[in-house]
């Protein structure tokens, strides 16, 4: 009799064990899901606070009033006319004022210079009356410099240092995955709005600023029917900044490698180029002549 009872209870025991395992697995899935959701449910205030901690202490961030950063630069043009050149780069900032200048040992492409003097933004001409594709894009979307976005944490004008003065809209976009890594996305919209979409990406673990994307799509337009109803194709623009090789300078954790990529696909053709800067000299709190931020 006891053996019969044992034989009858064995399927019951196996069934209960299966249910227990199933319940435990379900709990793990729920727990993992809650953990992932918790990361995505960070508030924008929490994300920005962790990002500021990644730069340095509040005291270090406050005392670094001016910055002069320099190093080597290199440019590669991927579309015709292709070419490359090396040179020097300097980044200077004083509060909201921000300047990025690159000079190259090339007679056809001598420099790029972008500057916001606190009131107005200007891109330098390559030759009289002619700006580069990148310079023209930044002239159209001058809010990029006026809000201190360009140059990221290398600049004292970096908007996340003090959002209260920006009058811009920022929101947390959750975790985004690309290049086999996950990043916290911050969506940035300037005051007054813009057709250019801006996404700031922070490292998932360290909250260091590693990438900013600026993209714009201009729909195709249809011409006057009187002239044959001519249709133009859409135009696409994408500017990407990447930052890496973080090291401490003057109490601040800053990138020592800076890369810019600009892509434009328009009715007149396609353009693709990239600029890289290896930064090796950092100076803080040195007085900067305000005239330095004016481009002649």
What is the pLDDT, as a whole number, of residue 7? 42
Pick the CATH number of 44-293 from 1.20.1300, 2.50.20, 3.90.660, 3.40.720: 2.50.20
Query: Is 81 a residue whose pLDDT tops 80?
Result: yes
For the chain, the average pLDDT equals 87
pLDDT at 18 over 60: no
For the beta carbon of residue 212, count every other beta carbon within 10 angstroms: 22
Task: Compute the distance between CA of residue 288 and CA of residue 232 in angstroms, rounded to an integer.
Answer: 47
Kindly report each contact of residues 138-142 with a partner whose C-beta sits within 8 Å and lies 24 or more positions away, as own/partner.
138/114, 141/194, 141/196, 141/214, 141/216, 142/116
pLDDT (average), residues 124-141: 95
Q: Which of 162-171, 240-249, 257-266 has the lowest mean pLDDT?
A: 162-171
For residue 192, name the pLDDT band (cuts at 50, 70, 90): confident
Residue range 185-206: mean pLDDT, rounded? 95
Q: Is the pLDDT of residue 74 over 80?
A: yes
* Tokens of residue 9, six digits: 């209870």
Is 55 or 28 the better-scoring residue by pLDDT?
A: 55
Rounded percentage of the chain residues whose pLDDT exceeds 90: 74
Supply the pLDDT for residue 229.
Answer: 57
pLDDT exceeds cutoff 70 at 25? no
Angle at 188 between CA 51 and CA 208, to 5 degrees: 20
Domain map (residue ranges) of the chain: 1-41, 44-293
**226 pLDDT exceeds 90?**
no
What percent of the chain stands above pLDDT 70?
83
Pairwise pLDDT comparison (285 vs 178), residue with the higher score: 285
- What per-residue confidence (pLDDT) applies to 40? 52
Q: Give the burial class of 92: count Cβ atoms within 10 A of its Cβ; 0-12 exposed, 13-18 middle, 19 or more buried.
A: buried
Decide if pLDDT at 211 tops 70.
yes
pLDDT at residue 227 above 90? Answer: no
Backbone phi and psi for residue 10, each to the nearest 5 degrees, phi listed first: -60, -50
Average pLDDT over residues 270-274: 97
Query: Who wins on pLDDT, 218 or 262?
Result: 262
31-61: per-residue pLDDT in tens?
A: 334 344 444 589 999 999 999 999 999 999 9
pLDDT confidence tier of residue 230, bands split at 50, 70 and 90: low
**Peptide bond between residue 164 and the one before it cis (omega within 30 degrees of 0):** no
Is the pLDDT at 22 greater than 60? The verdict is no
pLDDT of 222 reads: 60
Q: What is the DSSP track for 15-80?
A: HHHHHHHHHHHHHHHHHHHHHHHHHHT--HHHHHHHHHHHH--HHHHHH--EEEEEEEEEEEE-SS
Q: What is the mean pLDDT of residues 54-80?
A: 96
Query: Which pLDDT band holds residue 246 (cuts at 50, 70, 90)?
Result: very high
Judge whether residue 282 has pLDDT over 80.
yes
What mean pLDDT comes out for the span 153-167?
91
| Size of the chain in residues | 296
**Vertex 216 angle, CA 211 and 218, to 5°:** 170
Taking alpha carbons only, the member of 140, 242, 150 closest to residue 194 is 140
């Amino acid at each position: 009799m006891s053996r019969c009872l044992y034989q009858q209870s064995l399927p019951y025991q196996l069934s209960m064990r299966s249910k227990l395992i199933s319940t435990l697995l379900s709990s793990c899935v729920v727990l993992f899901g809650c953990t992932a959701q918790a990361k995505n449910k960070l508030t924008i205030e929490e994300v920005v606070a962790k990002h500021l901690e990644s730069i340095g202490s509040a005291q270090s961030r406050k005392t670094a009033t001016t910055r002069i950063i320099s190093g080597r630069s290199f440019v590669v043009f991927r579309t015709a006319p292709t070419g490359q050149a090396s040179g020097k780069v300097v980044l200077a900032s004083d509060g909201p004022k921000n300047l990025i200048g690159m000079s190259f040992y090339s007679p056809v492409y001598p420099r790029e210079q972008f500057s916001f003097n606190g009131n107005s933004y200007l891109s330098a001409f390559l030759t009289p009356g002619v700006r580069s594709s990148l310079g023209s894009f930044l002239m159209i979307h001058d809010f990029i410099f006026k809000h201190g976005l360009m140059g990221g944490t290398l600049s004292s004008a970096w908007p996340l240092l003090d959002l209260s003065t920006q009058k811009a809209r920022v929101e947390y976009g959750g975790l985004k995955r690309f290049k086999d890594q996950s990043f916290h996305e911050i969506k940035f919209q300037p005051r007054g709005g813009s057709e250019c979409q801006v996404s700031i990406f922070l490292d998932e673990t360290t909250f260091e600023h590693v990438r900013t994307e600026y993209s714009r799509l201009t729909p195709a337009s249809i011409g006057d029917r009187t002239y044959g109803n001519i249709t133009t194709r859409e135009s696409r623009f994408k500017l990407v900044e990447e930052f890496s090789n973080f090291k401490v300078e003057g109490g601040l954790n800053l990138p020592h490698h800076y890369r810019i990529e600009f892509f434009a696909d328009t009715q007149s053709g396609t353009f693709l180029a990239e600029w890289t800067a290896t930064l090796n000299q950092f100076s803080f709190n040195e007085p900067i002549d305000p005239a330095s931020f004016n481009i002649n």
